[in-house]
Amino acid sequence: MNKITVDEFFKSNKRLAIHPGSIENDKALREAFDKKGHTWYSGRRYTEHNNYDIYKDETCYGNNRMSCDFDYYKSHGYKIIEFKDIDLK
């Protein structure tokens, strides 16, 4: 799979979710979202809030600008993208 950029992730018409898999990847991903000007559905910056404390290693971020656990996104027809397949630049 070719890497997908942060902007491509958010602009896609497909249901996509990113699975960071670790707290370090989660932080790097949310910082990349902020750098590109993307916000939570509420309008808050991604670095202001996260759900990693709730979902731990199952945390996923959807291109619907929300987060939930891996199983939620999988069961709702989202394609899950692993952190290694995201171009954070």
Q: Which two tokens stand for residue 80?
A: 């899950």
- State pTM to two decimals: 0.95
Number of domains in the chain: 1
The structure tokens 């799979």 sit at 1
pLDDT per residue as tens digits for the range 28-59: 999 999 999 999 999 999 999 888 999 999 99
Confidence at residue 1, expressed as pLDDT on a 0 to 100 scale? 59
d(CA 40, CA 24): 19
- In which domain, by residue range, is 64 found? 4-87
CB 8 within 8 A of CB 33: no
